[in-house]
Structure 1
């Protein structure tokens, strides 16, 4: 009987441990408004936060997603982010969003990754060709054409893109599973790093002539 009781106790402990490690720790208060001034802050969940008694509605507010982004740039798109940099009250809440505007006939949100968050987009206007590539196990490409009202998900950390294939402007609203998902635009990071990556390395990696690599670096 004792052996059965010990076994049951071990099973319960294992289950408790698995549940405990499967989730992020719960917040210790309603919110943790980001604050750089440590003289006026309290320390909660590893972050300095504004004293909750001093929080204001403005700490949880952003205005501007109704305004179109300027797509007059080489790629023809503009991202208007709404993350912890715009809303201090997002701190520790694990969510953010953005508006993405695309110029007609080829406006592109170039191949990029979000290292800290999954992205889900909903089409507001226009038509986009979107896709993502799986990791190096098979490098599979998943693509879809999105129209108004359609939704698509880009898994965390995977390279993805959005291209306007319509002859009118396109608008998408994106949401992220992080207060600050980050973004790494592949071409900018590879060919526009500071200082630059050795052209010899890039020439071998991309199987390009070194002169082509140097030309691409000059564009960034």
Structure 2
């Protein structure tokens, strides 16, 4: 019998892995990197979601703002999704760092933003990000490229994309580090073959629109190196 546990955050998931209450988990790249670098988990497979193996973060603005490039965001406020979002925070923020912008978190929309920086707050969801941008309460927002593509035509007509980040795996599967190798091997075999029959496809669709699982190009070491490089750009300790 399988039991599904929902962790409120990465800290709780790490605790569940350490306690042996979770054998494997599904997460986006940023939380996966944070969790697995503690030694509690290790990468197993890539998860395709809604037909996509990779995705990117996009920074966009309202056409009414008359902002045409990232440089126009200096002295203004941008809104991200939440601190645990790969495409709605991690990737777009790294994009700004890579382009030498100074980015500073602010307590709320009324906070002062100096002319040499880009201020940011969190909206809590993709819908709230779009809402704040459309209402011109912020200069720009950031969400995933697939969320942006799925916006209704009315929203798209009022928005303009400013920049797009590099791509990372859409989602990942990791296992508890001390899970027996025989169990890991069998789990891997099952996940890799699920899309090959009707029953497996049905279960995948019910799992938040999963298309299939496959091996991550380059493996865990290549993924770890890429995330380390991104963290270096972000100025955080590895």
* TM-score, scaled to structure 1: 0.19
Indicate the structure with greater strand content: 1
Structure number with the bigger relative contact order (C-alpha 8 A, sep ≥ 6) is: 2
* TM-score, scaled to structure 2: 0.18
Indicate the structure with greater helix content: 2
**Larger C-alpha radius of gyration, 1 or 2?**
1
